[in-house]
Amino acid sequence: MDVYKIKGGNRLQGKVTVSGAKNSAVALIPASILAGSSVTIDGIPEISDAWTLKALLEEIGGEVSFENGTMTIDPTKMVAMPLPNGNVKKLRASYYMMGAMLGRFKKAVIGLPGGCFLGPRPIDQHIKGFEALGAKVTNEHGAIYLRADELIGAKIYLDVASVGATINIMLAAVRAKGKTIIENAAKEPEIIDVATLLTNMGANIKGAGTSVIRIEGVEELNGTNHTIIPDRIEAATFMIMAAAMGDGVLIDNVIPLHLEAVTAKLREMGVKIEENEESIYIPKHEKFRAVDVKTQVYPGFPTDVQQPLAVLMTLSEGTSKVTDTIYSARFKHIDELRRMNAKARVEGSTAIIQGPSALEGSAVTATDLRAGAALVLAGLIAKGETEIHDIYHIERGYSELIQKLCALGADIRKESIMVNTNNKA
């Protein structure tokens, strides 16, 4: 089993460059299914989710290369191959194969997606959207079957402003006949990024990034080149790491506008942040104020950042509270942080963190992607050695994390350890 081993206490200094956005990449790659010729995407992060999607595209006949951050996808020989099991279970975003294959082939069979367990993650709004466009959708033995004679544009009101449902409906609707209107659409920057790719492929999409998206279906889409946006969640993770352990860290390749809620909350905690056009500088800090934070849909405070932020709260003076309004059960990291001597507990959908506490190295488990990032930060701060298990969660979404942290001065390495399966409960 692979683990991360971290010797805590090293200060971080220098420049770190943020990779392309995971949550864009995992939608842009399936979007290429809709193209009539090759799509090239620059800035794809080196994460296992990208490799898994490459494998999924190859399973349906795509020719895909992925080298030095550039993925080129030739979709011309793709077929509507059912994907009920295997790779689709490895990540959440395999659900985008539904919208893209429905758009191109008018049919798809896709297993229920995997991804982080954060509490219930239904896909009812995706299905409602596909049905509104004229698809018949059934759930048979854990796989979703979608078929349509033709897709016809429709008005769809999302009961929740879901990122996945907004993108998935967009993927199918660009090839539907006539006009689709998505109301109460999610507004995340990754949605604009996907709409930009689709528009450059010849789609007609207006309003991406607002709560009403209008799509006029087209008969065919062409290949194109695209450069992905920077990962605002990775950037926020490094901002928090820099605040906690930095002696001056420049975080490069960011769009500061995408980070407004994070920047505002960190400033409230006493963190000094210098924003440049495409980078953010965080100087050394010694003290932090306790704050309360509530996660919200974009442009509110992102749920994907609350777990690393909780670690900074263990250094803050007083009681902090984190309420997750998106995922009620996204608090598995709190138990692990307690193993490291954090004073924290969960009440309902709120974590209550009492600081400051002196974190101590321990063996802990990355229960999900951002819990993993939180534990990496806790390990950087803690006295002694921290060993993080189940790091495959972290590697789904952070590109070259070890290399980036080592370059900043951290003592973190990946190691294979023997697991005694006889002792497993």
Ligand X SMILES: CC(=O)N[C@H]1[C@@H](OP(=O)(O)OP(=O)(O)OC[C@H]2O[C@@H](n3ccc(=O)[nH]c3=O)[C@H](O)[C@@H]2O)O[C@H](CO)[C@@H](O)[C@@H]1O
Residue ranges of the annotated binding site for phosphoenolpyruvate are: 22-23
Tokens 């190295």 map to which residue?
A: 361
In whole angstroms, the minimum distance from the beta carbon of 23 to ligand X comes to 4
Of 36-44, 85-93, 165-173, 269-277, the segment contacting ligand PEP by CB under 6 A is 85-93
In the list ligand X, ligand PEP, none, the entry touching 160 (Cβ below 5 to 8 angstroms by class) is: ligand X
For residues 176-215, one letter each, b for 16 or more C-beta atoms within 10 angstroms of the residue's C-beta and e for the rest, the string is beeebbbebbbbbbbbbbbbbbbbbbbbebebbbeeebbb
In the list ligand PEP, ligand X, none, the entry touching 120 (Cβ below 5 to 8 angstroms by class) is: ligand X
Locate 9 and state its tokens. 């206490």
93: contact with ligand X by CB under 6 A: yes
Helices 163-173 and 22-31: crossing angle in degrees, nearest 10, is 20
Locate 241 and state its tokens. 């790491």
116 catalytic? Reply is: yes
237: contact with ligand X by CB under 6 A: no
Q: List the one residue from 20, 111, 223, 397 that touches ligand PEP (CB under 6 A).
A: 397
Contact string 108-127 vs ligand PEP (x = CB under 6 A): -------xx-----------
CB atoms within 10 A of CB 101: 27
Kindly list the distances between the CA atom of residue 26 and the CA atoms of 75, 168, 190, 257, 307, in Å, as whole numbers in the listed order: 16, 12, 10, 22, 21
- The DSSP call for residue 228 is P
User: Which residues have CB under 8 Å from 74's CB, separation 6+?
Assistant: 37, 38, 62, 63, 64
Residue 415 has, within 13 A of its CA and on its CB side, a CA count of: 12
With respect to ligand PEP, which residue has the nearer C-beta, 102 or 116?
116
Which of 25, 116, 171, 374 is catalytic? The answer is 116
With respect to ligand PEP, which residue has the nearer C-beta, 116 or 242?
116
In the list ligand PEP, ligand X, none, the entry touching 162 (Cβ below 5 to 8 angstroms by class) is: ligand X
With respect to ligand X, which residue has the nearer C-beta, 28 or 313?
28
Name the 3-class secondary structure at 147: strand
176: contact with ligand PEP by CB under 6 A: no
Closest CA to 305 of 275, 333, 337: 333
308: contact with ligand PEP by CB under 6 A: no
Nearest-Å Rg of the Cα atoms of the chain is 21
349: contact with ligand X by CB under 6 A: no
Question: Residues 341, 350: contact at Cβ < 8 Å?
Answer: no
Kindly list the distances between the CA atom of residue 393 and the CA atoms of 2, 60, 371, 396, 400, in Å, as whole numbers in the listed order: 11, 25, 9, 5, 13
171: contact with ligand X by CB under 6 A: no
In whole angstroms, the minimum distance from the beta carbon of 142 to ligand X comes to 17
Q: Which helix (H) or strand (E) holds 64?
A: strand 63-67
In whole angstroms, the minimum distance from the beta carbon of 403 to ligand PEP comes to 20
333: contact with ligand PEP by CB under 6 A: no
With respect to ligand PEP, which residue has the nearer C-beta, 116 or 154?
116
Contact string 103-122 vs ligand X (x = CB under 6 A): -----------------xxx
306: contact with ligand X by CB under 6 A: no
CB atoms within 10 A of CB 257: 11
In whole angstroms, the minimum distance from the beta carbon of 129 to ligand PEP comes to 18
Locate 358 and state its tokens. 């002196």
326: contact with ligand X by CB under 6 A: yes
258: contact with ligand PEP by CB under 6 A: no
Name the 3-class secondary structure at 60: coil
* Total interface residues for ligand X by CB under 6 A: 21
92: contact with ligand PEP by CB under 6 A: yes
In the list ligand PEP, ligand X, none, the entry touching 397 (Cβ below 5 to 8 angstroms by class) is: ligand PEP
Angle at 120 between CA 194 and CA 54, to 5 degrees: 40
Residue nearest to ligand PEP (CB): 115
With respect to ligand PEP, which residue has the nearer C-beta, 93 or 127?
93
User: Which chain residues interact with ligand X by CB under 6 A?
Assistant: 23, 26, 92-93, 120-126, 160, 162-165, 186, 303-304, 326-327
* Catalytic site positions: 116
User: Which chain residues interact with ligand PEP by CB under 6 A?
Assistant: 22, 91-93, 115-116, 304, 369-370, 397
